[in-house]
Chains A and B, each alone.
Chain A
Amino acid sequence: MSKIAIIGGGIIGVVTAYELAKLGEEVILFEKNYFGSGSTFRCATGIRAQFTDEANIRLMKHSVERWEKLEEELESDIVFRQTGYLFLAASEEEVEAFKANIKLQNKFGVPTRLIDMDEAKEIVPILNTEPFLAGAWNPKDGKANPFKTLFAYLFKAKELGVDAREHTEVIGFEREGDTITAVKFRNNGKVESVKVDAVLNAANAWAPLINEMAGLKWDLVPITAYKHQLVKTEPLEPGQAEPLVCPPSWNDAYIIQDGEDGGIICGAGIEHKAKSLDDYEPTYDFLRGVLDYAVRIAPPLRYAHVVRQWAGFYAKTPDSNPAIGRLLDNFYIAAGFSGHGFMMAPAVGEAMAELISKGRSKVPLDWEWYDPYRFERGELRTSAFQIG
């Protein structure tokens, strides 16, 4: 049994802790704030396999299959619902691009299909069909409750013996050659240290700071924090906009109805580079901008009330694909999810735990595609389609 430290109590860190404990490893999990406080508890809840490249499609197909069984495995209602994703094309060129994406997705068993606007209107009764020509519809995409999902994993992880510590900040490492031998951390002003056999950096937007503590260059894995804001309406009758609905050509604007309380969550690619890693201040330009898109997608939203607006970080890499893999002998990273961490977590946590514990994984995760050293080599992947 090895002792493995995980830094970051968001969904990636918590799932990996659980999967490592399942494999019989001893895990200590550090979160400097409260669990989920970084990006997980600020996400838009969406889960999709509709990506535009093989690596992300295959990873998300596996992840969705894991999501389908999670409520049973974790013995908890995480409000996972396969209500689909509906992308909308506003031009003939987009329809052609959708067709090519659908062909690739179908090749790997993702059942997306092109639908007309009559069918789209049946799926989303409040949809304004007029600006759109066709939709890409995958009924197996969906959503889940990020709060309940993270805690369902966390409770199970603790049952399996994971030592999960919140409000505990990692402040440094001891390193011998390319091996991390100990983690130093602080809780309530008290500094302690623990000997470890391996470390996972799952700090997402904060991951470059952790890499630096390990003696690596800050920009080895260049992750930038972008504010991604969301606006939510009062609860509406279920079924109004259950799938995530998005015309990508409208600045990636989207709406999705919360599976639990029925409020409509509205997002868009109106992003601001965060002034600091504490900069969560919502902005009025976003509120105005996102609602302009939302009422064009679904005009009846004009009469709903906005009840809240919040911001989180897209921990963005230059190609919007995460960095997943090994950085030093026993120092690993899974960060820079660029807005896709929640949906990818069941697959990535499983793959990362197997890699750390056994040196290989049966999860269809293309390690070469997500290689954390690709930025240093100047290799970028096809930009992963963002949103959700």
Chain B
Amino acid sequence: MATTIEQPVKTKAEPELLGFLAEFDDPNALIEASKKVRDAGYRNWDTHTPFPLHGIDEAMGIKWTILPWIVACCGLMGGTIAISMQWYMNAYDYPFLISGKPLFSIPACIPIVFELSVLLAAFGAFFGMLGLNQLPKLYNPMFKSEAFRRVTNDRFFISMDAKDAKFSEIDTGEFLKSLNPTNVEEFWSDVESPKLPRNLKLGLSIVGVLMIMPPALVAYKRSTTTNTPRVHIVPDMDFQPSLKAQNTTNVFSDGREIRPNIKGTIPRGQFKDDNIPFYYGLKYLPEDQDVVTIAVQDEKKADAKPAEDKKADAEKAPATKPAAADPAAAAAAEAKKLDELPWVTEFPMPVTAKMMARGKERYRIYCSACHGLGGEGDGLVTLRAMDLQQGTWVKPASYHTENVRKLPVGRLYHTITNGVRKMPAYGPQIPPEDRWSIVLYLKALQKSQQIDANTLPEDVKRKLRDTK
């Protein structure tokens, strides 16, 4: 046996005395004994009974539980979290006005505060109880005692823990015997590490494999293609009966799914007649508006004219056609009409440096492509169109001609809004404030090209000379 490989011998730990168990067969005897143990000054001990025993708390000298305080703290914490969360979400991070109530409104907070307080108080009670009872505890060395099994049936026990400061192997044993128990025994710590049973290991492995399968299946399906139709898990969500824009339907008599504005109503935020200078660039709306805007005018006509006048409209339409046959004359007539409109000459809003900066930025985005950075009608689009000699291209006007410089700001605003010649209407793209900002920048551009250099101060002149 000389060649025996030396196995590392698993030395069994010395079993350690953990305490004593004293057995009683009568609850009253247990209470009497408990009083004696309490008065003897032991702290680390417990009683075990098959049912709740009135008076055992007093007999053991157990202090009133601190659980209510834990619950109260958790409840208060829940309330605080709820109220600060609602303040942060509703009033600070994402202010959202709901039915005209204040952003941070106590009555609206009450239900959430209530719910969270109750929730956290319940958590406090549940987990606090588990914690104070030192649960979950899967194993206790006392379970090894044969006698202790009757604790769930008809026996009553006192257990003395060896960790107690007053505990001593001989004295405590003697003391317990003096309490007249039916039996006293010791309980010892385990010497072997508890192993998991084989069946449990197997079961857990199977459960683990089963749990991995659904996510694995999902991952596989998501990373591969298939020629079978997709699975509709919730068909109601995939095929909704709701109408889609621009489709036809037989729900409404006109066959349109998208609904036109209701007659006689103005969509929210589209009522413009309360600030005519700002929205139209006009001092007031003239009686005959057909040159101002096409869209607005059409709406107004449809609203103003009763149904009987439809016929008159129909007759009028062919009458305008001959005018279109002579485009030059029509254009001249339109230009004349435009000149006569009451354009505003002042900005209908305070002019600020911020507005100028905004105007410059917007001008460079929307206008400079054709009109050029300096407004001379030499934008990149224009240059390229000229290069290619595109016949239909109309060269944009330079802002620095006498004609354009004379135009009132209202007219410039109108041009941006509704377009002119080849220039499309920018009204739908640029909000009115930005259109006015562009007009302001445009006026500044015009001024920059028409100033007499002698009127400039010396340092500005030098700066202009030095700047390329």
A binds B: no
